[in-house]
Structure 1
Amino acid sequence: MTAVAVELRRGRDPVAPGLFDRLVDFCAQEYGLERCVAERIQDQAIALCWVTGTTRSGNTMAPSATVDPGWHTFMLHSTEYTHWCQEQFGYYLHHTPNSKTRTPGLMVDVAARIRAAGLVVDESLWGTAADCNPPTCCCDGPCC
């Protein structure tokens, strides 16, 4: 059997590059993040939205506390978010916050669903990263 390399898609891929850049800039400024960190968060938030919307699984998926600001950022750009939801899913994807559902098990499940959809998962943003061995990046600092 020959292994075939498959390039995983990024969360940002379903949005126009200009919109993604505006979302990242806003997220960085609004939440006091370095731009490179805001870029990672926004990528994962869009991945979550896309998987949640295409699978209609809003009642069983939730963002991690770290990814949640990315979804908020997207929703605050209401015209673009509404248009994107209609274009991608045919309906408006609501965000019903419930921080009590953010269990480690759910975050592992959500990350697995995103990965199963063929999207890259930034494990450190979901609280599912394995232990690391310094001096490699443990993804707990800026720009990992």
Structure 2
Amino acid sequence: MTVVQQRPATDARTLLPAELRETLAQNVRVKFPQMTEEYAHRGVGQMLAFLAAGAHSDTPLSPSPLVDDFWHAFLLHTKAYQEFCAHTLGKFVHHQPGFLDKEEHGGGKALRAQTMEAITAIGFVVDAEFWPELDIADCSQCHANCHNSPKHG
């Protein structure tokens, strides 16, 4: 008899040093001053989980609009982002604005559902509060139409 033991999901915030997490959280709070510090730190974790899932995925994944704002904040720290991708993820995760073919990829809502499944599959926590549009509309990727694309890089 084989016993399969499930591990609890990991908070992706552990992928970055505390100082950089704090910087990214504060940068997003400048754009959204009403956002609490705790919520901003959770958002950093969801962005990191998205990036880790994107690095492991052979198909495009799509962030929620809010997760995309955290990704944009990280991208502005180009050296830190490049080093994170290389040393932590093992590959560069490109930010690819633009529309993906809905017939091929299922549209934004389907892509984000796939993204949440991909995050869970690699062992990270999905914080549903950062993916609210899964319950409301079948929109395209996000307000800026961003996604990762395994076809680039």
TM bucket normalised to smaller: 0.7 to 0.9
Unpaired stretches in structure 1, ≥5 consecutive residues: 130-144
1:2 CA displacement? 8.1
Mean Cα deviation higher: 109-118 or 81-90: 81-90
1:52 CA displacement? 0.7
8 Å contact from structure 2 (residues 53, 118) kept in 1: yes
Distance 1:72 1:26 in 2: 10
User: Which protein, 1 or 2, shows the higher relative CO under an 8 Å CA cutoff with sep ≥ 6?
Assistant: 2
Unpaired stretches in structure 2, ≥5 consecutive residues: 136-153
Q: What is the total number of aligned residue pairs between the two structures?
A: 127
8 Å contact from structure 2 (residues 27, 73) kept in 1: yes
8 Å contact from structure 1 (residues 108, 126) kept in 2: no
8 Å contact from structure 2 (residues 62, 108) kept in 1: no
Residues 3/87 of structure 1: CA separation in 2 closer, same or farther (3 Å cut): closer
Distance 1:81 1:69 in 2: 14
Instruction: Write 1 or 2 for the structure with the bigger share of helix.
Output: 2
Deviations 1:40-83 (A, max 9, x none): 21110111001111x144x5101011211111111111111111
Matched, 1:62 2:74: no
Distance 2:114 2:6 in 1: 24
Q: Secondary structure at the match of 1:93?
A: coil
The answer for the alignment partner of 2:48 in structure 1 is: 46
The answer for the alignment partner of 2:121 in structure 1 is: 116
Distance 2:93 2:43 in 1: 19
Distance 1:118 1:91 in 2: 18
Q: CA RMSD in A?
A: 2.4
8 Å contact from structure 1 (residues 11, 43) kept in 2: yes
Residues 12/99 of structure 1: CA separation in 2 closer, same or farther (3 Å cut): farther
The answer for the alignment partner of 2:82 in structure 1 is: 82
1:7 CA displacement? 2.5
1:4 CA displacement? 4.9
Question: What percent identity do the matched residue pairs reach?
Answer: 24
The answer for the alignment partner of 2:25 in structure 1 is: 24
8 Å contact from structure 1 (residues 61, 110) kept in 2: yes
Mean Cα deviation higher: 91-100 or 105-114: 91-100
8 Å contact from structure 1 (residues 44, 122) kept in 2: yes
TM-score between the two structures when normalised by the length of structure 2: 0.71
The answer for the alignment partner of 2:131 in structure 1 is: 126
